[in-house]
Amino acid sequence: MTFRGVFDLPKQKLLLGNLQKKTENPEFWSDQNTAREVMKESARLENIIDTWERLESAIAEATELAELFQDDSTEDLENEIRASFNSYESEFRELEVQLKLSGEYDDRPALISVHAGSGGTDAQDWAELLLRMYLRWANSENMNTEILSITNGDEAGIKSADFKVSGDFAYGLLRSERGVHRLVRISPFDSAKARHTSFALIEIVPEAQHGELAVEIKSEDLRIDTFKASGNGGQNVQKNDTAVRVVHEPTGIVVTCQNERSQGRNREQAMLVLESKLLELEIKRREEEESKLRGEHIEAGWGNQIRSYVLHPYRMVKDLRTEFETSDVDGVLDGNITPLIHSFLDSQVGADT
């Protein structure tokens, strides 16, 4: 029920009216999960409608001021008009981004997996740098993060990590990061100071809602192991078999969760992540079917990198899908990836039509 394309205020009001009629049904709360979703969507639509109506009214007032300026061209009035339009322009930019986040799951939390690829210790260090980059970005956007599991590297960095980002349109924004990321630099682990190329894979899925999958997850299809948690977590976590690994044998999906102090909570988290990864498989299946109908080529596997980060012989971050590039490599690695995300969203406008 999310809006798509150009914002249509009358259409959103009609959608809100239909949802409000559902709440008037005496049986509305008999299905509490559906009822909560209806109430959540109603609140979202009300917020959108209120925002656009307020902007329409404010712009009408600013236009009247501009007309007055023609008859009374004082410096104070000019400054007031400029300040008003600058404020509206800034708010419109934020709304423009939201209009691009019109996917079915864009307002969901994002579950992110970082995997070191080819490149040995350098790749494991690169995977940790990417993890740091995303955690810093989320913090700058006032989003919540939760580390679900980390497998440390042999000498440095990490082999893999799973974490969750929760906040407004977390998945819609971060889905642009899905793919292979390539790093070129002078290796800090090479005594000869040679240039190395490393790769890491970023997987991002929207968090599933319990009971959302059409296919039941059968207990006989699962292999569940427990083990001692590694990394941070304190002595209590280290001494007990609190970490949980769930293997979904029909698909080969493996999920590990070790963040919680109890085995039960880790199992719940792992099952939710598994549901999310199975939901992503369903999303990919639909996309592949649509692509085949359009006659598009589909490439499986890791595929080519989506972005290159070059620290030597020059400094440049370049997104190979959008051609966006910046020389501020340090800023990007410190979490300033918003321009890259926005360039991807801009490239997707009209792509699905």
Does 308 lie in the same domain as 161?
yes
Does 110 lie in the same domain as 55?
no
pTM exceeds 0.75: no
Q: Report yes or no: 332 and 317 within 8 Å, Cβ to Cβ.
A: yes
Domain contains 4: no
Task: Assess whether pLDDT exceeds 90 at residue 295.
Answer: no
Which residues form the domain of 128?
A: 104-353
Which of 57, 78, 100 is the endpoint of a domain? 100
Neighbour-count burial of 59, counting CB atoms closer than 10 A to its CB (0-12 exposed, 13-18 middle, 19+ buried): middle
pLDDT at 238: 45
Domain contains 110: yes
State the DSSP code for 208: P
The gap from C-alpha 322 to its chain's centroid, in whole angstroms, comes to: 18
Neighbours of 168 (CB within 10 A): 13
Which residues, including other chains, have CB under 8 Å from residue 181's CB and lie 6 or more apart?
126, 130, 199, 200, 201, 202, 305, 306, 307, 309
Does 160 lie in the same domain as 205?
yes
* Beta bridge pairs of residue 184: 197, 310
Domain contains 1: no
Domain contains 54: yes
- Give the total number of structural domains in the chain: 2
Domain contains 204: yes
**Amino acid at site 78:** E
146-169 average pLDDT score: 93
Q: What is the domain-level CATH number for residue 178?
A: 3.30.70.1660
Does 177 lie in the same domain as 96?
no
Does 158 lie in the same domain as 176?
yes
Does 76 lie in the same domain as 41?
yes
Does 336 lie in the same domain as 196?
yes
Domain contains 3: no
Does 227 lie in the same domain as 92?
no
Does 172 lie in the same domain as 29?
no
List, for residues 251-288, the tens digit of each pLDDT value: 999 999 988 778 888 998 899 899 899 988 888 887 77
Mean pLDDT, all residues of the chain: 83
* Beta bridge pairs of residue 165: 110, 145
Q: What is the domain-level CATH number for residue 92?
A: 1.20.58.410
pLDDT at 327: 97
Does 155 lie in the same domain as 21?
no
Which residues, including other chains, have CB under 8 Å from residue 93's CB and lie 6 or more apart?
none
Does 217 lie in the same domain as 187?
yes
Domain contains 2: no
Q: Give the C-alpha separation, 350 to 353, whole Å.
A: 5
């001692």: which residue's tokens? 228
Which residues, including other chains, have CB under 8 Å from residue 316's CB and lie 6 or more apart?
308, 310, 325, 326, 327, 329
Does 147 lie in the same domain as 58?
no
